[in-house]
Structure 1
Amino acid sequence: MKFKVYDHAYEFERKIEQILLEKEDVYSLFLGVLQAIKAGKYENPFTATIEEDGKVLALFQMTPPQPLNLIFVDETRLEELIDFFIKSMIELEIDVHSIISSKPWAYKVASMWETKTGMPHHLLMKQGVYRLNKVNETLEHSPGAWRYAQESDSPLIEKWFNLFERDAGMPISPIEHVQKRVALFLKDREIFLWEDKGKIVSMMKKSRPTKNGVTVSLVFTPKEERKKGYARTLVASISRELLKDYAFCVLYTDMMNPTSNKIYREIGYEKIADSVHLGFDKSE
């Protein structure tokens, strides 16, 4: 077996694209981030495979400080592949703070990682991967209408971005970082807002387009406007728009938040996979 690190995103894509497209919805995060790497949106990305006789057995992708995404193709040799992966990462001195992957793969990697390095793991988020093919047209809509976010909306979106991170239990990004990201979102017309009587009451964004799908993310409604159906109506409306250009929409949910999971199922999203985000505790 060979652990091969790829310095060029297009070469990496040629090697692993067919594997990803066979489960384009489940692997949408990996695929979407790869498109962003190709577009030069990340500094110092890490992409690698485990190969044997020209065949890809596992693939890895990381855009620091984001988690390392892992996919294992040959599950019959899972322990062997994980062991080889960990040895290779240690030898290459690749720093890994967290991983994201299919639930059984992630926990197996974390367990063996702890055995090899002494670094215990902890759960950062238990996630469900959902897919939508068709919006439920029987939903009752909340009052108001959607529109694309504009530059003048930046201060509110930046504030809500940090509040979204807080609600999700994520590290709070510095405002300078948030401002840069929001500026890119607006430039690419990725943010959608719901307005009721001239007041912005909810937001969401589209991201990570793949060959046939697109991801829905950053769904947020401030506390004072919740339980009014705004987020459900916004996501349903924009998902319907996105399905005009894509075969399906996908989204990641926090499985510890029963409200959001209920809302997405009502819209027509169906869970297709269980994913977890695990962090590693650095030894003193």
Structure 2
Amino acid sequence: MSADDWYLTEDVDDFLARAGGFLRSRPGAHVMQLTWAERVRVRGLAALFGVSGRGREVHGTFFRLQDRGLGLSPLTPEQADSLAARLAALGHAVPSVSADERTAVAFAEAWRRHSGVAATPRDLRLRLYRLGTLTPPEPPPAGRARVLGEQDLDQVVFWCGKFARSVGEDVFLDAATWAGSRFADKRYTLWETPDGTPVSVAGANPLIGGQIQVDVVHTPAHLRGRGYAGAVVTEVSRAALAAGAQDVVLFADLSNPTSNALYQRLGYRTLTDWAGYDFDGG
């Protein structure tokens, strides 16, 4: 495949006109492409997009937000090589790449060949799950789910801040920075004990391409092991299906066997493993 087979654009509408059908044909595998294209469209963010293929035939895509790394759809080694060749020829500095594991490995190797820049694998490795048949926990813990609204911004900021710190995200959240964060476009649900004490949170992205991603799941360490996370993820998953989602997906940290086992008990099945690489001096 020639490097010229990659069409590049900074126009998200152009990108979606060319690749939207391809992305929606496999929404689970393309969850990050669909999610970030929608955020760029809604928020007016600066981004670069790419489409591999000729005419109406699309084989792969990428996106890159300003000053951030590449997000890739599943690519063959040949497609990854042609993309690396194209970006290197244009003088692009690529700080990192994130994709399904095979694609990430293929691009990291291709980028080294074409740019001479070494890749360092990230410690965080994820598994992408897709919901099969939702299987609620039995018995559920005492309490109830409560959907948070605009009047609950303080609660949302508090819980997302705790989640971000728990997974090592370097972000500062408060009322002033909230709207520009990746957390702002989600719908959040708390699990509360019978006396109204919040003990666990789960968030969900908007319906995009017939799919909803469950994103942000957190229970404070001293409250874990009581079924709260299973209960709130069940409620969020149920709400996603009720909203018309044909697919419900989520990521889990592979180093956390407890959360992976929980999601599988709830009916989530492995879709693919996910990996990231940082490039020295990118």
Q: Distance in 2 between matches of 1:101 and 1:203?
A: 26
1:70 to partner: Cα distance: 1.2
- Could you tell which deviates more after superposition, 212-221 or 43-52? 43-52
Q: Is the 8 A contact 1:194 1:234 kept in 2?
A: yes
Contact 2:188–2:202 (CA under 8 A) maintained in structure 1: yes
Closer, same or farther in 2 for the Cα pair 1:210/1:133, shift >3 Å? farther
Pair 1:135–1:91, CA change in 2 (3 A): same
Distance 1:264 1:181 in 2: 29
Instruction: Determine the C-alpha separation between the residues in 1 that align with 2:173 and 2:154.
Output: 14
Pick closer, same or farther for the CA change 1:98–1:139 going to 2, 3 Å.
farther
Give the deviation of 1:172 after TM superposition.
Answer: 3.4
Task: Name the structure 2 match of 1:267.
Answer: 266
Match of 2:50 in 1: 48
Native 8 Å contact 1:69 1:99 kept in 2? yes
Corresponding residue for 1:70?
72
Tell me which residue corresponds to 2:221. 223
Instruction: Rate the CA distance shift 1:5–1:222 in 2: closer, same or farther, 3 A.
Output: same
| Cα distance in structure 2, aligned partners of 1:59 and 1:203 | 33
Kindly report which structure 2 residues correspond to 1:43-192, keeping only aligned pairs within 5 A, or say none: 43-52=45-54, 55-64=57-66, 66-72=68-74, 75=76, 78-79=77-78, 81-115=79-113, 116-137=115-136, 139-173=138-172, 175=174, 178-181=177-180, 185=184, 190-192=187-189
CA distance in 1, matches of 2:186, 2:173: 23
Q: Which one-letter code corresponds to 1:272 in the other structure? A: L
Q: Is the 8 A contact 1:4 1:50 kept in 2?
A: yes
Alignment partner of 2:277: what SS?
Answer: strand
Q: Which residue of 2 aligns with 1:251?
A: 250
After superposition, the C-alpha distances for 1:227-273 in whole angstroms (9 at most, x for unaligned) are 11111100012211211122221101111111111111111111111
| Shift, 1:6, TM fit | 1.6
Amino acid at match of 2:191: W
Deviation at 1:88, TM superposition (A): 2.0
CA deviation after TM superposition for structure 1 residue 280, in Å: 2.1
Alignment CA distance shift 1:138-1:194 (3 Å): closer
Query: How far does the alpha carbon of each residue in 1:59-97 deviate from its partner, in whole angstroms, 9 at most, with x for none?
Result: 111224554211255x3xx33x33331232233343322
Residues 152 and 212 from structure 1, CA distance in 2 versus in 1: closer, same or farther, beyond 3 angstroms? closer
Mapping of 1:227-246 within 5 angstroms? 227-244=225-242, 245-246=244-245
Q: Is the 8 A contact 2:122 2:278 kept in 1?
A: yes
SS of 2:125 mapped into structure 1: strand
Q: Percent identity?
A: 21
SS of equivalent residue, structure 1 residue 243: helix
Task: Return the match for 2:14 from 1, 5, 11.
Answer: 11
Q: State whether residues 18 and 56 of structure 2, in contact with CA within 8 Å, keep that contact through their aligned partners in structure 1.
A: no
**Residue 215 of structure 1: how far off its partner (Å):** 0.5
Q: Which segment is superposed worse, 244-253 or 130-139?
A: 130-139
**Residues 124 and 278 of structure 1 are in contact (CA less than 8 Å); yes or no, is this contact kept in structure 2?**
no
